[in-house]
Amino acid sequence: MHHFEELNAEEVRRYDRQMILPQVGSEGQKKLKNSSVLIVGAGGLGSPAALYLAGAGVGTIGIMDADTVSISNLQRQIIHNMETEYVNKAESAKLSLQKLNDRIEIKAYPHALTVDNAEEIISKYDFIIDAVDNFETKFLINDVCVLLEKAFCHAGILQFEGQVMTYVPGNNPCYRCVFEEVPESGSIPNCSQAGIIGAVAGIIGSIQALEAVKYLLGVGELLTGKIFVLDGLSMRTRIVSFNSKNESCKVCGSHRTITNIRENADEYMRKACIRKR
């Protein structure tokens, strides 16, 4: 049985609207206070996810991004503002989160997630949010989480559409079970090429925050073994189910070949190689 740090009177007032929920209560709030979430990417998805997790009182939030804020980000990356233009996104996000909740610890990582730092950083957190916009890093997050037995939530957004899936260690399919390997460069457009409506990023990033909260509290049904898909133009949603993990998956299947992320570094580095050319 965990011995959780008690809540003070100000925290009880602050979190009142969720503590009255039978699924939360003071015990649930203490669980959140003693939990940690790492958000990789402080952009369109990471912005709402970080704000809602800070609002909910998750005790430690790590936020990682190597990029700096530009004016074109502000249409969807609502954690930043005009005053933080040219500031590193992780540092800018930390400033906003501290203004929202000064009772929690915010750790800014002003650099990219790489083969060299991924295991060390991810190992420190209870839940990981994949809020990045490139496939190489998505596969890196997945593989590290599978190898370290960490739960995480993946999301992707494009134009008016979004998708979310959650992985919890056990018999659940991972991101690689479904998507298998990094697509060829240029075969799938990204937001800077094909566009994105900011509110779609807001909806999907908020769902990621909700998945994290449910996981930390141990309540409800997570998006494990399934992908939630939103079409924002028609407001149709569907859930695509995957009954079990893919036995031929390279990282969690019965004959897995990825047992060490350094050995698979070439796949995660594909983007870097293309950029350097």
In a domain, 139, yes or no: yes
272 has pLDDT over 60 = no
Question: Residue 1: which pLDDT band, with cuts at 50, 70 and 90?
Answer: very low
Work out whether the CA dihedral 214, 202, 97, 110 comes out positive or negative: positive
Quote the CA–CA distance of 222 and 41 in Å, as a whole number.
22
Q: For residue 1, is it within any domain?
A: no
Band (277; pLDDT cuts 50, 70, 90)? very low
SS3 at position 227: strand
The answer to the question of residue 197 being in a domain is: yes
Structure tokens at 225: 């073994």
**Residue 4 lies inside a defined structural domain of this protein:** no
Q: Which residues pair with 60 in a beta bridge?
A: 36, 105
Task: Answer for the pair 68, 43: CB distance below 8 angstroms, yes or no.
Answer: no
Does residue 170 lie within any of the structural domains? yes
Task: Answer whether residue 276 shows pLDDT above 50.
Answer: no
Residue 80 burial class via C-beta count within 10 angstroms: exposed 0-12, middle 13-18, buried 19 and up: buried
Across 13-160, the runs of DSSP E, i.e. the strands, are 36-40, 60-64, 105-109, 127-130, 151-158
Q: What is the mean pLDDT of residues 179-208?
A: 85
User: Stretch 15-39: mean pLDDT, rounded?
Assistant: 98
Instruction: Evaluate whether residue 26 is within a structural domain.
Output: yes
Q: What is the mean pLDDT of residues 126-155?
A: 97
pTM of structure:
0.95
Q: What is the largest CA-CA distance in the chain?
A: 57
Q: Is residue 3 part of a domain?
A: no
Give the domain extent around 24: 9-276
User: Over the stretch 39-61, which tens digit does the pLDDT of each residue have?
Assistant: 999 999 999 999 999 999 999 99
**Pair of tokens at residue 145:** 């989480």
Name the domain count of the chain: 1
Q: What is residue 129's predicted lDDT score, i.e. its pLDDT?
A: 98
Q: How distant is the alpha carbon of residue 114 from its chain centre?
A: 16
CATH number at residue 180: 3.40.50.720
Q: Is residue 2 part of a domain?
A: no
Report whether 38 contacts 125 (CB < 8 A). Answer: yes
